[in-house]
């Protein structure tokens, strides 16, 4: 029942604000070799400390559910990077003056600018191929959300990002 409740919340959060994800990976990688992971100790995620903890926690929960285990002697390491940027609202009002063959029109934007986050998760095998899998997400993000909603947002982002791991061609 708890899992169903969690899944429903993740679905609600993801349906309200889309999360766009792009994947890339090393084609020669045998993904079945990777059973253990850890995080780089020097991650400079670009997130504030609390959001970084929320993202790492969401990653651990999802990776453990996928059968991967966090260990000190890991087969791959995870790096996290993020950027925050503003995008203008797509809402505009058009005004026009003139008639016949001549006239002038202008679009006036209204509404707030949107804060977006781009989060990149990289899986790195330091002993073999180096970077072997990467997912980059882009989504809107409200700065003044309560901690519970921020946590749910990071869970939804991780859920969407890890849909592409391991890639379909190597399953």
CA–CA distance, 111 with 89 (Å, rounded to integer)? 6
CATH code assigned at 73: 3.30.160.670
Query: Model confidence at 161, in pLDDT bands (50, 70, 90)?
Result: very high
What pLDDT shows up at residue 10? 46
Min mean pLDDT across 12-21, 34-43, 66-75, 117-126 is at 12-21
Q: Is residue 5 part of a domain?
A: no
Q: Is residue 126 part of a domain?
A: yes
CA–CA distance, 142 with 165 (Å, rounded to integer)? 27
Q: Are 23 and 167 in contact (CB under 8 A)?
A: yes
CA dihedral sign, ordered 137, 69, 1, 164: positive
Q: Is residue 66 part of a domain?
A: yes
What pLDDT shows up at residue 109? 60
Q: Is residue 132 part of a domain?
A: yes
Strand partners, 23: 135
pLDDT over 90, % of the chain: 63
Segments forming the whole domain that contains residue 120: 35-88+112-165
β-bridge pairing 130-140 and 19-25 = antiparallel
Q: Is residue 61 part of a domain?
A: yes
Q: Is residue 47 part of a domain?
A: yes
**pLDDT tens, position by position, 96-151:** 676 666 666 666 665 566 789 999 999 999 998 899 999 999 998 888 889 999 99
């Amino acid at each position: 029942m708890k899992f169903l409740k969690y899944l429903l919340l993740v679905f609600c959060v993801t349906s309200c604000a889309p999360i766009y994800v792009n994947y890339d990976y090393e084609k020669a990688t045998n993904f079945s070799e990777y059973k253990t992971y850890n995080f780089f100790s020097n991650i400079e995620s670009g997130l504030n400390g609390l959001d970084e903890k929320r993202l790492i926690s969401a990653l651990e929960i999802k990776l453990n559910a996928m059968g991967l285990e966090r260990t000190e002697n890991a087969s791959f390491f995870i790096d996290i990077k993020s950027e925050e940027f503003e995008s203008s609202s797509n809402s505009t009002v058009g005004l026009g003056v003139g008639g016949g063959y001549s006239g002038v029109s202008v679009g006036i934007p209204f509404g707030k600018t949107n804060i977006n986050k781009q989060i990149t998760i990289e899986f790195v095998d330091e002993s073999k191929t180096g970077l072997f899998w990467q997912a980059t997400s882009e989504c809107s993000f409200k700065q003044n959300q309560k901690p519970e909603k921020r946590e749910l947002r990071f869970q939804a982002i991780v859920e969407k990002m890890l849909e592409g791991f391991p890639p379909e061609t190597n399953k």
